[in-house]
Homo-oligomer: A and B are copies of this chain.
Amino acid sequence: NLENAIDWILKEMEKDNLSNVHGEKVKVPVWIRGKESARLIKPFVKDLSILGLGGSIGTRRTGIRGEVIVVDSFEELDERKDEVKGKLVLYNAAFTNYGETVQYRYKGAQAAAKYGAIASLIRSVGPWSMNTPHTGVMAYTDTIPEIPHAALTMEDAMMLRRIHDRGDKIILELKMEAKTGADRYSRNVVAELPGSEFPEEIVVLGGHIDSWDVGQGAHDDAGGCLAAWHAVKLIKKLGLQPRRTLRVVMWTNEENGGRGNKAYRDTHMAELDNHVAAIESDAGVFKPQGFGFSGSAEAMDIVSEIGQLLNSIDADEITEGGRAADVAPLNDEGVPAISLKVDGSKYFWYHHTNADTFDKVDRDELNRCMAAMAIMAFVLADLNEPLPR
C-alpha cells in the first residue's frame, strides 16, 4: 500500500534526523484493476497472460467475446478501418523506442473505438519478453466511446499475428473488472538538509514514490527514491552541509496522472525562483552513466564540470535533455532540470511488470547511483554562485 510506504518513509526520515520531514497532500485518481483474464477461444483454446492498462474501463461481468483483427501500426489500422467494427483490435507493434511504441498504449483504445472496435489490445511495450505483460497508463478522449484496453505478452501478440496471417479466424474472450474510483488523497514526501549559508535556495533531488500495482516497483521508481534519499543521508553522515538546502522530494502519482509533480509545482510556486535545480532519477538504478541537463548553455558548462567528478565511476557523461516526468513542470517554470542517466539495456524488460522486483537491483549499481546523485546535488548546492538560468 502506497500510503503505508509513505508513512514508513516519513518515520525513517525522522530517524535520519532530516529536517522539515512531511507529506504534502495531493488528490490523485484511483484506478483499480480487479480480476482480469483473456482466453483465446479460436482457433484453439489458450489462457493468455494479460495486464489491463491503467485507466481502462472494465468489460461487462460476463466479458467481451469477439473476433480479433491484428494490425502492426496505426497506419495499418487506418487502411483496414472498414474491417474493425464490432471486433477487438490487437496492435502487434514491435518495440522501436519507448516514446514511439507507447503511443499504442496511450491512444490505442481511442484509435480503435473510432472505427467501432469493442475492445483493444496491445503487444506489451518492451524490447524483449519472458511471456511478460506490461501495464501502464492509457487515455480516452471525450468524443470517442470508451472501450476496454489491455496488454498481451509480446509472444502472444506475435502468435496471434501469425494466426491472423494464415487466415484463421481468431476469437478471444476478455474479462476485466477494472474501474476508476473517486479521487483520494496521497502525499508527496519532502525532507531536507538545510543549507548553511543560503537555506532559502534549494536543490531538489528525488524520484516518484508511486508504482504500478504489479511487481514491487523496484527500478520504477523505489530505486530512484532511495538514490536521492540516501544521497542526502550520506552527505549528512559525512558531516557535510552545503551552502544551499538539499530537498529530497518523492512525487506521488507519476504513473497514473502526474498529479504529484503538478501539486509540488503549485504548492511551491512562490519559491521556484529559488530552486537552483531539480534532479530526478526515474530510469532504474542500473550502472550510472551521467546526467541529462535541460537549462542554459552557461549552466550546462557548470553541470558538465561537476560531472567530471564522477569520472572515477564512469558516470561523467553530461548530455542534453534532463526533463524527466516529475521535473518537467519545474523546468517549464524556469528551474534547470537534471535527470540521472543509467545503462538502459534492461530497464524496459522490467518496466511496469511483475518482474520489477528487488532482486533485480544490483547493490553496487544502486550505490553508484546514490554516489552520482550525492555528488551532483552537493556541488550544485555548494557553488559560490547559484547555477545560472
Task: Say whether B359 contacts A154, CB under 8 Å.
Answer: yes
Q: Bound complex: CA of A357 vs CA of B132, how far in Å?
A: 12
Q: Bound complex: CA of A362 vs CA of B131, how far in Å?
A: 17
| Other-chain contact of A131, B154, B155, B159, B355 (Cβ < 8 Å) | B355
- A339 is an interface residue with CB less than 8 A from chain B: no
| Other-chain contact of A132, B131, B158, B350 (Cβ < 8 Å) | B131
Task: Say whether B131 contacts A354, CB under 8 Å.
Answer: yes
Q: Which residues of B contact A129 (CB under 8 A)?
A: 130, 355, 359
Q: Bound complex: CA of A353 vs CA of B354, how far in Å?
A: 16
* A155 (CB) vs chain B CBs: closest residue: B357
Task: Say whether B353 contacts A155, CB under 8 Å.
Answer: no
Q: Which residues of B contact A215 (CB under 8 A)?
A: 131
- A49 is an interface residue with CB less than 8 A from chain B: yes
Q: Bound complex: CA of A181 vs CA of B159, how far in Å?
A: 30
Number of copies: 2
Q: Which residues of B contact A140 (CB under 8 A)?
A: none
| Other-chain contact of A357, B49, B131, B350, B355 (Cβ < 8 Å) | B131
Q: Which residues of B contact A354 (CB under 8 A)?
A: 49, 130-131, 155
Q: Which residues of B contact A49 (CB under 8 A)?
A: 354
| Interface size in chain A (residues, C-beta < 8 A) | 17
| Other-chain contact of A359, B132, B158, B353 (Cβ < 8 Å) | B158
- A349 is an interface residue with CB less than 8 A from chain B: yes
Q: How far is the CB of A161 from chain B (nearest CB, A)?
A: 11
Q: Which residues of B contact A349 (CB under 8 A)?
A: 130
Q: Bound complex: CA of A215 vs CA of B47, how far in Å?
A: 11
Q: Which residues of B contact A155 (CB under 8 A)?
A: 354-355, 357, 359
A305-357: which have CB < 8 Å to B? 349-350, 353-355, 357
Chain A 95-138: CB-based contact to B (< 8 A → 1; otherwise 0): 00000000000000000000000000000000001111000000
Q: Which residues of B contact A132 (CB under 8 A)?
A: 130-131, 355
Q: How far is the CB of A346 from chain B (nearest CB, A)?
A: 10
> Which one of A130, A154, A158, A350 has the highest number of Cβ atoms from chain B below 10 Å of its Cβ?
A130
Q: Bound complex: CA of A353 vs CA of B349, how far in Å?
A: 17
Q: How far is the CB of A337 from chain B (nearest CB, A)?
A: 32
* A153 (CB) vs chain B CBs: closest residue: B354
For the complex of A and B, 6 pairs with smallest distance between CB atoms:
A130-B130, A130-B355, A131-B354, A131-B355, A155-B357, A130-B132
Binding site for B on A (CB under 8 A): 49, 129-132, 154-155, 158-159, 215, 349-350, 353-355, 357, 359
List 21 contacting pairs A-B, 8 Å CB cutoff, sorted by A: A49-B354, A129-B130, A129-B355, A129-B359, A130-B130, A130-B132, A130-B350, A130-B353, A130-B354, A131-B132, A131-B353, A131-B355, A131-B357, A132-B355, A154-B359, A155-B354, A155-B355, A155-B357, A155-B359, A158-B359, A159-B357
